[in-house]
Every structure is written in C-alpha cells, then in structure tokens.
C-alpha cells in the first residue's frame, strides 16, 4: 500500500490536463478522446454486460497463474466475484471504448481475456475490427465467449494458450497489430519479454496499453524501460495505464495525464478504479 500511495502522489505532482500538453497529436487525443463527455449508446451495452456478470452467481474452476504465467493453483469462484475483483472498471471500459473508437484499429490483440469486460469495449469501439484475445484459463474465456454471444459480439478469435507460446509462434513477416491491450498482471521479466517479442509487429499507427503500471515496484521498472525504448516516441502515463506510440514523425516525449479516474477520492478506498 505504501508503494501505491507514494507512486500516486508522485504522479499527481507531474500530471497535467490538456492545457499542459504542447504536442498537437497528444493534445487532440486528450481533448477528443480522454475528455470526451459524450454519452455514447455503447456505454449502455457495456453496463448491461457488466451487470449480467455481476448478477451471475454460477461457480467455475479458475486456474491462477503466477507472474511468469505458470499455473500454481486451481480454485472455484463465482463469476460475479471474478467480475467485481479482477475485471476492468466501468470508467476504464468506457475510456478503452473511446480509444478504439478514436483510432479505429483494424487488428487488435488482447493479452488476457478474463470474463471479457475489456473485450466488449474493444469490440464495440470498432465494429469492423478483428480481435484476437488470449487467455490461459479455459473456463473464464469460455464464459466470456458465452456472454459476448448474448450481446451479438461474434468477431473475437479466442485462443486458450500460455502467452509466451502464442507470441513465439507469430509469423512476423505477415503479422501486424494496430492496437494491443496488455490486461494481464505479469512480472517485469515477462512484460519485457512480451514487449521485445511483439516489437516486430508494430506499424507507425500502433498503440499499446499496459495495465496497472504502478501496482508494484517491478511493474514501474518495466514501464520505465519500455517508455525509454528507442522505438517508442510518445508515452502517456494515466497512472492506471501506460500508453505508448511508435510514430516516427513525433519527437520523443513522455506525458502524465490526469483523468477522471485518478483524481477520484475513491482511489484510497479501491486502488484499481
């Protein structure tokens, strides 16, 4: 907890809104996407999807994995409990939807499906985009597929796999991803391995999002290495997320952006807001 509070206070001292951003690309992104107050009808679908999970008290066997994606135990949990404790928050789902809507990526990779709270946002943001969603637990991924089908979201290619195995099987001569969302909680070592492995798939328009970059010291260390990589030209730290871009025409800059989430008083009650 001490680390989280310390990192949060450090972030707040650095964070700015759109008035402190001098990059036209980032300024437009913040104004037209981050701070977009439009009440999109898709938000209702996202809320209905979340509610359907929170009201589902069916139990399933869930395999937990350690930071390097090795199975350590299997236990029985309620779907509602998984959605409440492990799923993306409502505000983050809305922002993820807006990001996909803003950039309109054609090829999306989600590393960590869980019950599909993020997957639904990715799918609704661009109804013509293709999504590959990876998860190593077959039961949670199956529940995601069943629930998304109820909402007529059928464009997701679900792959049950240990992440490194899939990533190492990619044909880099033909594979590119416009948008990658790293949803799973991995160690510094694993995160950097995924970063290095996927670098050959980038294009000038690629956006990557890393979740919970300040949750632990080693997560912060991985984030520092990633954002300082020579191929990364723009990084945005929202505290909850780290976004990186590979736009060759951009000067290398790092931004700390305030959002509705990280200014909420709920932070100290529930860190994952």
pLDDT in tens, 173-232: 778 899 999 986 678 998 999 999 999 999 999 999 999 999 889 999 999 999 999 999
pTM: 0.90
pLDDT for the residue 54:
94
User: What DSSP string describes 39-53?
Assistant: --THHHHHHHHHHHH
Residue 263: CA atoms inside 13 Å, Cβ hemisphere, count?
A: 10
The average confidence (pLDDT) of the chain is 88
Domains of the chain: 2-52+88-268 (3.40.50.150)
Please state, in angstroms and rounded to a whole number, the distance separating the CA atoms of residues 72 and 231: 35
Q: Kindly state the tokens that stand for 106.
A: 């054609």
Q: Locate all alpha helices (DSSP H) within 15-157, ordered by sequence.
A: 24-29, 42-54, 79-86, 90-103, 117-125, 138-150
| Interval 60-79: pLDDT, tens | 988 765 444 444 456 888 99
Buried residues in 48-75 as b, exposed as e (16+ CB within 10 A)? ebbebbeebeeebebeebebebeeeeee
* Residue 122 near residue 88 (C-beta atoms within 8 A): no
The bridge status of strand 253-256 relative to strand 234-237 is parallel
């Amino acid at each position: 907890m001490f680390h989280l509070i310390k990192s949060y206070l450090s972030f707040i001292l650095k964070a700015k809104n759109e008035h402190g951003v001098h990059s036209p690309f980032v300024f437009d992104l913040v104004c037209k996407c981050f701070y977009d107050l439009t009440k999109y009808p898709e938000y209702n679908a996202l809320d209905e999807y979340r509610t359907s999970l929170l009201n589902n008290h069916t139990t399933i066997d869930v395999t937990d994995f350690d930071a390097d994606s090795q199975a350590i135990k299997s236990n029985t949990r309620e779907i509602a409990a998984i959605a409440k404790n492990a799923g993306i928050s409502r505000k983050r789902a809305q922002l993820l939807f807006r990001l996909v809507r803003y950039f309109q990526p054609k090829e999306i990779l989600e590393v960590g499906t869980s019950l599909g709270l993020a997957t639904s946002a990715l799918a609704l943001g661009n109804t013509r985009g293709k999504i590959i969603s990876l998860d190593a637990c077959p039961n949670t991924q199956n529940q995601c597929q069943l629930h998304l089908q109820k909402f007529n979201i059928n464009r997701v290619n679900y792959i049950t796999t240990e992440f490194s195995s899939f990533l190492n099987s990619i044909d880099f001569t033909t594979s590119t991803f416009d948008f990658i969302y790293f949803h799973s909680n991995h160690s510094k070592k694993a995160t950097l391995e995924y970063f290095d492995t996927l670098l050959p798939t980038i294009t000038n328009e690629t956006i990557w999002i890393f979740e919970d970059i300040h949750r632990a010291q080693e997560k912060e260390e991985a984030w520092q290495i990633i954002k300082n990589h020579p191929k990364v030209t723009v990084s945005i730290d929202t505290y909850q997320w780290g976004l990186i871009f590979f736009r060759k025409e951009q000067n290398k800059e790092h931004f700390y952006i305030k959002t509705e989430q990280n200014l909420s008083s709920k932070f100290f009650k529930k860190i994952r807001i």
